[in-house]
Every structure is written in C-alpha cells, then in structure tokens.
Amino acid sequence: MKTYLAACAALTLAAALPAHANLLIDGGFEQTVIGFGGYSTVDSTPGWTGAPNIEVQNHVAGSPYEGNQFVELDTNANSSMYQDFTTIAGTTYQIHFQYSPRPGVSALSNGIELLWDNSLYAMVALGGIGLADTVWTGYDLTALASGPTSRIQFNAFGPSDGLGGYLDNVSVSAVPEPGTLQIFGLGLVILATVAGTRRRAPSMSF
C-alpha cells in the first residue's frame, strides 16, 4: 500500500507544535449519539454540514481512533462535509486529522480529500484489503487564513459505491509564531508526511 498526501499552494508543514484549543465543533463526531454497533446518515451534525449527508458510525465496520464514533465519507454515494469557523486574516492554523481506510476495501474506494477555503489542499487514500480493523494514521498540516472566516471541508473521491475512508479527531488551532516551516508554491506538492500511525489489534471480521 502506498501513502500519498498532496497539497496546494500556500501550504505550510507543521513543525513539532504544542496542542492548542480546537476551533472546530465536535471534531470527534461524538455529539450525534449513535448506539454501539449502529450508524446513522444525517444531513448535519453539530458544527458540520453534509453535502449531501454525513454517515456517523459506532463500531460498525471498524473501531474509532478515540471515543465511540467516527465519520465515513461515501454514504450511499460519494459525500462531503464542511465546517466554517472564525479566523484572523494572516494567521497560520494547524490542521490535524486521523484517517483510516475502511477494512476490506481497496485504496481506490478509500480516498478522502481536504479543502481549505474551497481550494484543494490534500488527498489521502490507503488500502484496507486484509485489515480486520481500522488502522489510524494522523496527518498534520498548516494553512494561512485569508479572512475572518475559514472553511475546512472533506470530500470522498473514487468509486461512488457507499464504501469510503474514515475520519476522526479533526482539529484546527492557531499556530504561535515562530514554530512553522513554510512551504509556498503553485500547483500540487507531493508530501510524505505522516504524523503517526496508531494500530489497533484485530477485533472483528467482515
């Protein structure tokens, strides 16, 4: 399996940054409560708006990174979700998210892309063939705010087959200066930056 992460212009790579307050609402997707072993497809969750909807799972086809729940993108078809939040123009923000391929599903169907202010910023797709449970990988990036409000958005890409990649533990926080390594350019920049991988012992079969 190959890991790839693509990022657009004005991308900054996070250097060992301390934890700061999450500006996003419900980055762990816990506030829409789903019973253990269940899932729900909803138009929105606290803070997040679906396009057209969001699937929240609780130990249906994999374990969460933290808490009890996570989101699968590609509900009945490729889907997306976004959240708008207050920022300060000219300030750098750290973006963090945990991603896992859906177990038993190829990388082709597990693609998720990240948009910042409606511009393509990153793409990730890993294969889940042979996995008995989720394998979470953390990604850290930074981006520059251009106005008083910014938008973070995640889209599914690949076959629109109702099977897609997982997201959990999404956060955005202000980055103190100094403390970032800035990389500016046009077009897509291929990165091989992985903040860390968290593996869970196999606990289920499909």
The C-alpha torsion from 82 through 83 and 89 to 95, rounded to 10°, is: -80
Q: What is the pLDDT of residue 13?
A: 39
Q: Is residue 61 part of a domain?
A: no
What's the domain range around 88? 5-26+82-199
Q: Is residue 70 part of a domain?
A: no
Q: CA 79 → CA 71, 147, 155, 156, 171, distances in Å? A: 11, 27, 6, 6, 20
Rounded-to-integer distance, Cα 196 and Cα 150, Å? 26
The C-alpha torsion from 82 through 79 and 165 to 3, rounded to 10°, is: -80
Sign for the pseudo-dihedral over CA of 117, 8, 29, 71: positive
| Total number of residues shown for the chain | 206
State the CATH number of the domain containing residue 115. Answer: 2.60.120
Q: Is residue 166 part of a domain?
A: yes
Q: What is the pLDDT of residue 160?
A: 87
Q: Is residue 18 part of a domain?
A: yes
Sign for the pseudo-dihedral over CA of 47, 49, 152, 69: positive
Q: Is residue 136 part of a domain?
A: yes
Domain count along the chain: 1
Q: What is the pLDDT of residue 162?
A: 87
Rounded-to-integer distance, Cα 11 and Cα 66, Å? 27
Instruction: Provide the b/e sequence for 68-106 (b: ≥16 CB within 10 Å).
Output: bbbbbbbbeebbbbbbebebeeeebbbbbbbbbbbbbbb
**H or E segment and range at residue 97:** strand 92-100
Q: Is residue 89 part of a domain?
A: yes
pLDDT digit string (tens) for the chain, length 206 residues:
444 444 333 333 333 444 579 999 999 999 999 999 999 999 999 999 999 999 999 999 999 999 999 999 988 899 999 999 999 999 999 999 999 999 999 999 999 999 999 999 999 999 999 999 999 999 999 999 999 999 999 999 999 888 999 999 999 999 986 534 443 333 333 333 344 455 544 443 33
Q: Is residue 128 part of a domain?
A: yes
Q: What is the pLDDT of residue 5?
A: 43
The answer to whether residues 127 and 135 touch, using CB atoms and an 8 Å cutoff, is no
Q: Is residue 68 part of a domain?
A: no
Note the pTM of the prediction, 2 decimals.
Answer: 0.77
